[in-house]
Copies of this chain bind each other. A is one copy, B any other.
């Protein structure tokens, strides 16, 4: 399953021959030994995704970190956002697989949306309100959290996909800027 996770994420399920999985698992490629463990590739995929969802759900880095009292809110939030970026790295193989399989297995995408995205936004809301909430955030925490999470995900995908930060803006700069924008305590454009 470890091998399959890697190969699926890298090349997609369809493009990963059973023989390659056998080879990666130390079995002789081309022997049907794979089929003593799983009925077929589809069953393996389901097993891999399930295991990954469970693993991710209990990942400690997914939790909101205890907010230290002695640092300014912007800095505390930036630290949290860095942790979020690291957490997404854990999620990456699963995300890649689901992107590949989206059209074939829409139910899988649905499951992930419910458990990951909505929960992510919820956590983000809690996160934002917990720290000194700026007026804009307080005005519509859900929208603010959505912006925050979208930015993190978008940035993460850019980095992973292209192998380098967009426009040379590293994680440090990125999270700092995003945190500042969100914790700004005095907006005048509310009108």
Contacts of A178 in B (CB 8 A): 147
Asked whether any CB of chain B lies closer than 8 Å to the CB of A31, the reply is: no
1/0 per residue A124-166: CB within 8 Å of B? 0000000000001000101111110111111101100110011
Judge whether A32 is part of the interface by a CB distance below 8 angstroms: no
> How many Å lie between the Cα of A15 and that of B16 in the bound state?
11
Size of the chain A interface, CB-CB below 8 angstroms:
61
Residues of B within 8 A of A186 (CB): 184, 186-188
Contact across chains for B167 and A145 when beta carbons are under 8 A apart: yes
Query: Which residue of the partner chain, among B14, B118, B145, contacts A14 with CB atoms under 8 Å?
Result: B14
Is A18's beta carbon under 8 Å from chain B? no
Question: Known contacts being A146-B167, A150-B151, A184-B188, is A109 close to B174, with CB within 8 Å?
Answer: no
> Within 8 Å CB of A143, what residues of B?
169, 173-174, 176-177
Within 8 A of B (CB), among A101-118: 102-104, 109-110, 113, 117-118
Number of this chain's copies in the assembly equals 2
Closest Cβ of chain B: how far from A103's Cβ, in Å?
5
A30 close to B (CB within 8 Å):
no
Interface positions, chain A 1-58, Cβ under 8 Å from B, are 10-12, 14-15
Chain B residues with CB below 8 A from A122, complex form: 167
Q: Contact between B11 and A12 (Cβ–Cβ < 8 Å)?
A: no
From B74, B136, B174, B188, A147 is in contact (CB under 8 Å) with B174
Shortest distance in angstroms between A173's beta carbon and chain B's nearest beta carbon? 5
Is B157 in contact with A103, judged by CB distance below 8 angstroms? no
**15 A-B pairs whose Cβ atoms sit less than 8 Å apart in the complex:** A11-B104, A14-B14, A73-B189, A109-B161, A136-B177, A144-B177, A146-B167, A146-B169, A147-B155, A153-B157, A153-B158, A184-B184, A185-B188, A185-B189, A186-B188
